[in-house]
Amino acid sequence: MHENKPIGDVMLSVDNISLSFGGVHALENISFNIREHEIRAIIGPNGAGKSSMLNVINGFYHPQEGTITYKGQTRKQMKPHEAARTGIARTFQNIALFKGMSTLDNIMTGRNTMMKKGVFWQALHLGPALNEELEHREFVENIIDFLEIEHIRKTPVGRLPYGLQKRVELGRALAAQPELLLLDEPMAGMNLEEKEDMCRFILDVNDEFGTTIALIEHDMGVVMDISDRVVVLDYGKKIGDGTPDEVRANQDVIDAYLGVSH
Amino acid sequence: MSPDFLFFLEIIVSGLMAGVMYSLVALGFVLIFKASGIFNFAQGVLCLFAALALYDFIAPGGWVDRWFGFTLPVWLGIIMTAGVMVIVAWLIERLVLRYLVNQAPIILFMATIGLAYVLEGMGDILFGSDVKPLDIGLPQGASDYMLDTFGLYVEKLEIVAAFVAAALVAVLAVFFQKTRIGRALRAVADDHQAALSVGISLRTIWVIVWSVAGIVAMVAGIMWGSKSGVQFSLSLIALKALPVLILGGFTSVPGAIIGGLIIGVGEKLAEIYVGPLFGGAIENWFAYMLALAFLLVRPQGLFGEKIIERV
Ligand SMILES: Nc1ncnc2c1ncn2[C@@H]1O[C@H](COP(=O)(O)OP(=O)(O)OP(=O)(O)O)[C@@H](O)[C@H]1O
Ligand SMILES: [Mg+2]
């Protein structure tokens, strides 16, 4: 599907990551990398550690072991607001929108790291701050057009149906013009038509803006269809890594999905 | 108009005016509670602290006068006091909040109790504990206009307070609705994790919220101090804010305003019309009774969000 897309160098690599909560080993010695412009799927059964992995990448969780190398810089852990500042945006498995705010305002928050005018100007709502606000507003309107959600611009997102909320959340992440976009089950709970729309948006973002995407998804059809490479987790361990075809043929993966006991 | 009705109106108006003060204090609570889920017991002390600081900047016999032999003009004193409140906010984040991230609400609440005592003690040491008259040149006495046209006795100071409060709320509303930082504040109030994921720094937001709450406290402190002098009891108006919050809801700015007005009016009406039945002086506890009764009917307050535990 993306034969023409130039997949580049390694953008992010996690090495020997281990993360546990008390006695629960959410991640054990996990290493893999994500290359520029690719769509990298992370799959695995429930509780495998997929969301934990994303949380490690954007700094919500701090692993006990291992390193994260992002754009050439190696760290023990990320910090959420540093991750955001350096181009990592994300969506959540259980939608985390600002429920009382409108679609427009929610997506505007995505511009946060790019708006620089100080508290003073903003308190007065004057001059530079006002111009800046308008500039970013225009960018956000483009995202709204792209995601085809003009009709709900002013609606408080708490009132929107699930599928649209997921779309607004994607909009908020895109507003940051991320280099690396982390999507945690963006299609969960959607009907077929909504899934197709979401797939199209993800592919468009990847193709048109060259955004690198890490995607957690349970729908195997979708995963095999749109991803370039897949990493498979099971009980916190990595059991497979490769192209969709390679992963499909991997005996460990097949066993994990069929529930063969360990 | 019949004298009885006029009297009734007079009570209402004076109740509304007293209510404005309660609203201002409650507003500070709501801001902090929304952004960080902290019930800030120190809000009343912040009012006191601000009023004391202002006194020392502008009053004869205040610090600046004693040290430098002159006093600052009122406008400059107010700006300096606002600056002091920002520094206090920064210190609170730096020395307290930072270490209590993700702690249970009760722990944060306890921390603010400690904070209240520290601030009170500091105010005492820095500024002294005697009653200080705060005169920033606000008009005193009854408004002739209200007296002549409507036959109502209303304090000029209270009218000024009402306008100042209205202006403050208007400015805050624009700040919250139309600016990046306002949006970030609302975002943090709504969902911490999501706010972090878009690069909002909680620490910065907390400093800003506490600064804004400190400045609101300053306005309340100035108004209250102009009326009855700057003294320790100023910090006790925070206790009056509690019933206001129960009435208006802990998370609603309009709720704080309207709750304050209801308590103000309710208190005065009760004092006049119900008070005699109890032998008077019910103004002191009426607000709490009202809040308690309200709690039974609508625990989330008039405007608060219904809290439904997710299981
Ligand atoms: N904050 C946390 N505190 C304690 N345990 C956690 C926490 N987050 C994750 N875990 C545990 O880590 C393990 C992996 O969870 P994780 O959410 O990463 O799985 P997942 O692969 O995303 O599963 P799902 O497909 O159900 O979303 C689970 O056992 C989970 O209970
Ligand atoms: Mg998950």
pLDDT score for B309: 46
Q: Do A176 and B199 touch (CB under 8 A)?
A: yes
Distances B37 to B34, B102, B166, B294 between C-alpha atoms, Å: 6, 10, 25, 22
Residues within 6 Å of ligand 1 by CB:
A 21, 24, 26, 44, 46-52, 93
pLDDT tens sequence across A112-159: 887 765 566 566 566 666 777 888 899 999 999 999 999 999 999 999
Number of neighbours of residue A87 by Cβ within 10 angstroms: 18
Distance in angstroms (rounded) separating the CA atoms of residues A105 and A140:
9
Q: Do A81 and B193 touch (CB under 8 A)?
A: no
For chain B, percent of residues with pLDDT exceeding 70: 97
Q: What is the mean pLDDT of residues B172-183?
A: 84
**d(CA A100, ligand 1 centre) in Å:** 28
Mutate to test the pocket of ligand 1, among A21, A94, A237 (most ligand atoms within 8 A of CB): A21
The phi, psi pair for A49, rounded to 5°, reads 115, 15
Q: Which range, A186-200, B9-23, B32-46, B148-162, has the best average confidence (pLDDT)?
A: A186-200
pLDDT score for B7: 83
Interchain CB contacts (distance < 8 Å): A and B? 88
Q: What is the mean pLDDT of residues B190-194?
A: 87
Q: Is A125 on the interface with B (CB under 8 A)?
A: yes
pLDDT score for A119: 60
pLDDT tens sequence across B123-175: 888 877 788 888 887 787 777 777 777 777 778 888 888 888 889 888 888 88
For an interface test with B, the pick among A61, A94, A98, A180 (most B C-beta atoms closer than 10 Å) comes out as: A98
Q: Is A123 on the interface with B (CB under 8 A)?
A: yes
Does this model's pTM top 0.90? My answer is no
pLDDT tens sequence across B230-284: 888 877 777 888 889 888 888 888 888 899 999 999 988 888 888 777 776 777 7
For an interface test with A, the pick among B198, B215, B216 (most A C-beta atoms closer than 10 Å) comes out as: B198
Q: What is the mean pLDDT of residues A3-12?
A: 79
Cα angle A227, A228, A232 (rounded to 5 degrees) comes to: 70
pLDDT score for B310: 45
Mean predicted lDDT score pLDDT of chain A: 90
Q: Do A99 and B191 touch (CB under 8 A)?
A: yes
- Answer yes or no: is pLDDT of B201 > 70: yes
Nearest-neighbour CA in chain A from B109: distance (Å): 25
Q: What is the mean pLDDT of residues A82-90?
A: 93
Work out whether strand A65-70 and strand A229-234 pair parallel, antiparallel, or are unpaired.
Answer: unpaired
Ligand 1 atom, smallest distance to A61 CA: 1
**Least CA distance to A93: which residue of chain B?**
B194
Considering only CB atoms, which chain A residues are within 8 Å of B191? Answer: 96-99
pLDDT tens sequence across B82-134: 999 999 999 999 998 888 877 888 888 899 999 999 988 888 888 777 888 88
B272 secondary structure, DSSP code: I
- Kindly state the tokens that stand for B270: 């009760």
Over B60-121, what HEC string results?
Answer: CCCHHHHHHCCCCCHHHHHHHHHHHHHHHHHHHHHHCHHHHCCCCHHHHHHHHHHHHHHHHH
Q: Which of B179, B182, B194 sits opposite A97 (nearest CB)?
A: B194
Considering only CB atoms, which chain B residues are within 8 Å of A183? Answer: none
Q: Do B180 and A117 touch (CB under 8 A)?
A: yes
- Angle, helices B237-248 vs B43-58, to 10°: value is 130
Cα angle A54, A59, A65 (rounded to 5 degrees) comes to: 85
pLDDT score for A196: 93
Protein residue closest via CA to atom 11 of ligand 1: A26
Number of neighbours of residue B104 by Cβ within 10 angstroms: 9
- Answer yes or no: is pLDDT of A2 > 70: no
pLDDT score for B311: 44
Number of neighbours of residue B168 by Cβ within 10 angstroms: 17
**Least CA distance to A100: which residue of chain B?**
B190
- Kindly state the tokens that stand for B53: 């600081």
Q: What is the mean pLDDT of residues A228-247?
A: 94
Q: Do A98 and B187 touch (CB under 8 A)?
A: yes
- Answer yes or no: is pLDDT of A240 > 80: yes
- Identify the CA nearest to A13 among candidates A45, A36, A39: A36
**Least CA distance to B212: which residue of chain A?**
A123
Q: Do B182 and A122 touch (CB under 8 A)?
A: yes
Mutate to test the pocket of ligand 1, among A14, A18, A42, A52 (most ligand atoms within 8 A of CB): A52
pLDDT score for A25: 93
pLDDT score for B161: 84
Mutate to test the pocket of ligand 1, among A19, A24, A238, A239 (most ligand atoms within 8 A of CB): A24
Q: How far apart are the two ends of chain A, measured CA to CA in Å?
A: 35
**d(CA A45, ligand 1 centre) in Å:** 11
Cα angle B40, B45, B49 (rounded to 5 degrees) comes to: 130
- Answer yes or no: is pLDDT of B308 > 60: no
Which amino acid is present at B168? L
pLDDT tens sequence across A12-38: 999 999 999 988 999 999 999 999 999
Q: What is the mean pLDDT of residues A87-102?
A: 93
Question: What DSSP line would sit under A162-173, residue for residue?
Answer: HHHHHHHHHHHH
Beta bridge partners of A240: A232
Q: What is the mean pLDDT of residues A106-112?
A: 92
pLDDT score for B71: 84
Mean predicted lDDT score pLDDT of chain B: 84
Q: What is the mean pLDDT of residues B77-83?
A: 94
Considering only CB atoms, which chain B residues are within 8 Å of A83? Answer: 199
pLDDT score for A102: 94
pLDDT score for B305: 62
Q: What is the mean pLDDT of residues B299-306?
A: 71
pLDDT tens sequence across A188-199: 889 999 999 999
Range in A206-210, B53-57, B138-142, B252-256 the model is least confident about: B138-142
- Answer yes or no: is pLDDT of A3 > 60: no
Nearest-neighbour CA in chain A from B267: distance (Å): 33
Distance in angstroms (rounded) separating the CA atoms of residues A9 and A83:
19
- Kindly state the tokens that stand for A252: 């460990």
pLDDT score for A15: 96
Q: What is the mean pLDDT of residues B205-225?
A: 91
Q: Is A92 on the interface with B (CB under 8 A)?
A: yes
Do residues B197 and B30 make contact, with C-beta atoms less than 8 angstroms apart?
no
Protein residue closest via CA to atom 8 of ligand 1: A52
Interface of B with A (CB under 8 A): 174-175, 178-184, 186-187, 190-191, 193-201, 208
Q: Which of B175, B191, B198 sits opposite A110 (nearest CB)?
A: B198
Distances A178 to A109, A214, A231 between C-alpha atoms, Å: 14, 12, 22
Beta bridge partners of A41: A215, A230
Q: Domains in chain A and their CATH numbers?
A: 1-87+178-262 (3.40.50.300), 97-177 (no CATH)
